[in-house]
Amino acid sequence: MGGFILTHPSMAGPSSAAEPLRHGKEALEAGKFDEAERWFRITRRDFPKNTEGTEALVQETFLLVSRELSSLKLASLWREGANWAESVEKSSASAQQKKAKAYESKALEAIGGIRDITPKLLGLSSVALSLNFNVGMEGLEADDIRNRLKKGEWVEEDDASRLERAEFLANYLGFLATIFDHLDDRMFNNPHEGKVRAPVLFNSLGTRLYIANQKKPTTEQSRLAKRCFDRVLELTSGTPYDKQRQEALDFLAKMDAKKSAAATPVKAAAKDWVCPVDGKTMDPNWKFCPFHGAKLGKKKK
């Protein structure tokens, strides 16, 4: 009796992992970034221990970081436009504020993806892959729309979509150039090829998680950011003055300082700690006024 034999991906031959990865790279070349991200997610889900799965994981990371960066930039642009429109037309300003909030939500969604994917990257023995792929770069120019939006003009949906694509492409290509250490004049040329600079990748992830944690602190984000910076220190242990190492050390110092400050008891509420000479509010952890030298104390009731 004839029929089909169904196999689980783990039972298939090594070449099976190449198929979804190829679909993802073809989508990148066509400029279909959402589709590419979906194929990369499928590849690394079904083939986590294959080389193709590792590449898919790294490629998905490039897209997530670029999506978070571009969404934050778009939120800022729409909010800037809303501030200008506020004095002209209240309804337009309100609509622009809604757009800004929508992009802030997209940024939060992307940082959630970064949180999910970072432990998988940290679990790999190496992410220093040699990559070679093409990127569809149609739709990179949108300066006219960006300028109109900044002036408070309302931007219709078609133009808003053009701007979103252009902003994503600008951040994506810039991030790839940083990862591969390409000069600016190579940013816009295919293929994008080179060896992934692991310290740069982990510093980038740590930075995104650190910044997100400033807005909405969570133990998970703080822990992951620290693990990323610690990984950079491991990767650059033989080069004490490496730029990436110094950046990681700076972030770790900030995190330690904030942790120490949080553990330091505050003498009084900030609004109650004043200079007796002019009555101005001072830092509650200071003992003397830096301007008059007078000993600080609580505000008299």
Q: What is the mean pLDDT of each run of 10 residues along the chain (301 residues)?
A: 42 69 98 98 95 97 98 93 70 82 96 97 96 95 91 89 96 95 84 96 97 92 97 96 96 85 50 68 64 65 55
CB distance 63 to 24 below 8 Å: no
3-state DSSP assignment of residue 97 = helix
What is the predicted pLDDT for the residue at 21?
A: 97
Contacts of 285 (CB under 8 A, 6+ apart): 264, 266, 267
Closest C-alpha to 271, from 291, 292, 301: 301
For residue 115, which of 205, 176, 2, 11 has the smallest C-alpha distance?
Answer: 205
11 contacts 46 by C-beta, under 8 angstroms:
no
Q: How far is CA 112 from CA 54, 57, 67, 204, in A?
A: 20, 15, 12, 15
pLDDT of residue 301: 55
Q: In the chain, at which residue ranges do the beta strands (DSSP E only) sit?
A: 130-133, 192-195, 273-274, 297-298
- pTM of the full structure: 0.80
